[in-house]
Amino acid sequence: MRVLFDTSVIVPALVDQLSRHPSCFETYICYSSGDNNGFCSTHCLAECYAVLSALPLPRRITTEEARQLIKESVLGRLEIISLDQNDYIEAIAAVAKRGLASGIVYDALHVMAARKASCSRIYTQNLDHFRPLCPPEILLSAP
């Protein structure tokens, strides 16, 4: 199965201090190995770094640790889908057409990457954000 991971699943999969770590970690390992192919967008890399380096945890993740986690646990496991200018324009058009504003455009970029990679599923903790954007051929799931 070809699966795209949203930042909301990758970050808790990597950080054992977060409450959703067990389910996200299990899903991440399962769907990024074996017969499954895991993907994320280039935009997701930046989101992961931003979140990892700013999490208010008892033991904070340093910027270098965030970079290393992405290098080893994301780049080492997932295929990264690059988005081009046309993908960004299409994502903006998709949210504008639906009257959706603000940060939902970033979720539209993840959907664009899933379509580009021919994914059959997106794993996210933000199902309500993705529902209005996701085509029927891509199943939305939460870990």
Would you give per-residue pLDDT tens digits along the chain (143 residues)? 999 999 999 999 999 999 999 999 999 999 999 999 999 999 999 999 999 999 999 999 999 999 999 999 999 999 999 999 999 999 999 999 999 999 999 999 999 999 999 999 999 999 999 999 999 999 999 99
Q: Quick one: pLDDT at residue 39?
A: 98
Distance CA 32, CA 61 (A): 24
Describe the crossing of helices 7-14 and 21-30 by its angle, rounded to 10 degrees: 110
SS3 86: helix
Spell out the domain ranges in the chain.
Answer: 2-141
Q: Quick one: pLDDT at residue 51?
A: 98
Q: What CATH architecture is 2-141?
A: 3-Layer(aba) Sandwich (3.40)
Beta carbons of 14 and 57 less than 8 angstroms apart? no
Structure tokens at 86: 């046309």
